Amino acid sequence: MSAGGPGGEAHGGVAPGKIIAFGVLGGLIGIYGAHFLSIINPAFSFIGALGAICAIVWGADAVRRVCSYGLGTGVPSIGMIALGMGVIASLFGLAVGGIAGPIVALIAASIIGLVIGLLANKVLGMNIPIMEKSMVEIGGAGALAIVGLSTTMAGTFMFDEVLALVVAPGYIAVIFIAGGMGILHPFNACLGPDEEQDRTLAVGFEKGAIAMIIAGIVSMVISTTAAIPAIMIGVFIWYISFAKFYELTKRDAYKVLGTGLLPTEEELQ
């Protein structure tokens, strides 16, 4: 998008390992929880979207780490490639994996991510130290976000149902873009030398919640019982994370003013 990346390793905040564990475990638990509990009652399908939020936050953090190496205009592109890898891997995983579908999807996405990371660094010569690792993470996060949101929409991750209820009616398009924007937008929105991890990830939660609300709206096609919890919990998470983001904005900004003139020359010195 624009200039202003710090051009070095991302600093501070929660360690990458913890976020990766949060994304992978949260994503998989959410997806499997939604799949099995939806058999008891469709109202539980919202858990899949909670898993997707974990994956989106993980993806946003991975984007943050790799894009801190000065990838200003590359931030949106990297979000789109995340979901590009994710769509291929998740459809492949769900088609061949059966009950292990989400795990196969995660592994397939990681492999595609590794290949793209190697191509970017070795062939295109981008020479970003963490490129391969980050692309593996971004691909995995994209795949889990897609499977998680699909599970909420369809109430299951079984391939035939996902194909009939998510892919054929075209809802896969909104999963692709809402998931992709959830991953790319947080760092793109907070890009700048004074970016902070907690503020960026608050946007990740907030955008994940929007994807959850949309998945809830789509699940109306299956049953209103499934839609209401997903929409209401989504709105709740959105509100909490937006309030947190605004609080952190007030903490980090130079000044949050109701209105005012521009800073004076003396003030800028």
Partner 1 sequence: MEPLIGMGVLALMGAAATVAGASEDLESDVGSQSNPNSQVQLAPQMMYPHRIYNKAISGEPPSNALMCAVGGTVATVLMSAYNMSPVFAIAMGALLAAIVHGTYSVTAFFGRPTSQKRFKQPVYLDILWSHTPVIMGYSYITTFCILVISYLMVAVLGHPFPLPLLAFIWGIAIGAVGSSTGDVHYGAEREFQSVEFGAGLNAANSGNIVRKGESGLRNGFDNSWFCAKFGGPVTGIAFGMVVFLSGWVTTVFDPARGDAIGWLSVIAGALLVLIMILWNRKIEVAARAAYGPYKEDEVAA
CA distance 113 to 135: 5
Of 40 and 268, which has the nearer Cβ to partner 1?
268
**236 binds partner 1, rule: CB under 8 A:** no
Of 112 and 211, which has the nearer Cβ to partner 1?
211
- Positive or negative, the Cα torsion across 94, 90, 130, 183? negative
Contact 145, 66 (CB under 8 A): no
**69 binds partner 1, rule: CB under 8 A:** no
**12 binds partner 1, rule: CB under 8 A:** no
Pick the closest to residue 232 from 249, 217, 242, 247 (CA basis).
Answer: 217
Q: Which region among 36-44, 100-108, 135-143, 248-256 touches partner 1 (by CB under 8 A)?
A: 248-256
- Positive or negative, the Cα torsion across 191, 193, 197, 198? negative
**What is the closest distance, in whole angstroms, from the C-beta atom of residue 36 to partner 1 in the complex?**
25
Contact 51, 71 (CB under 8 A): no
Structure tokens at 218: 């789509």
CA distance 199 to 263: 25
Q: Which region among 52-60, 72-80, 124-132, 137-145 touches partner 1 (by CB under 8 A)?
A: 72-80
**What is the closest distance, in whole angstroms, from the C-beta atom of residue 237 to partner 1 in the complex?**
13
Among 91, 150, 195, 233, binds partner 1 (CB under 8 A): 195
Among 7, 98, 129, 169, binds partner 1 (CB under 8 A): 169
**266 binds partner 1, rule: CB under 8 A:** no
**116 binds partner 1, rule: CB under 8 A:** no
Structure tokens at 231: 């929409």
Neighbours of 88 (CB within 10 A): 18
Of 134 and 200, which has the nearer Cβ to partner 1?
200
**What is the closest distance, in whole angstroms, from the C-beta atom of residue 210 to partner 1 in the complex?**
6
Contact 58, 137 (CB under 8 A): yes
Distance of CA 177 to the CA centre of its chain: 10
Of 33 and 208, which has the nearer Cβ to partner 1?
208
How many residues interact with partner 1 (rule CB under 8 A)? Answer: 62
CA distance 57 to 59: 5
**Interacting residue ranges for partner 1, rule: CB under 8 A:** 1-4, 75-76, 79-80, 168-174, 176-178, 180-181, 184-186, 188-196, 199-200, 203, 206-207, 210, 214, 217-218, 220-221, 238, 242, 245-246, 249, 252-263, 267-268
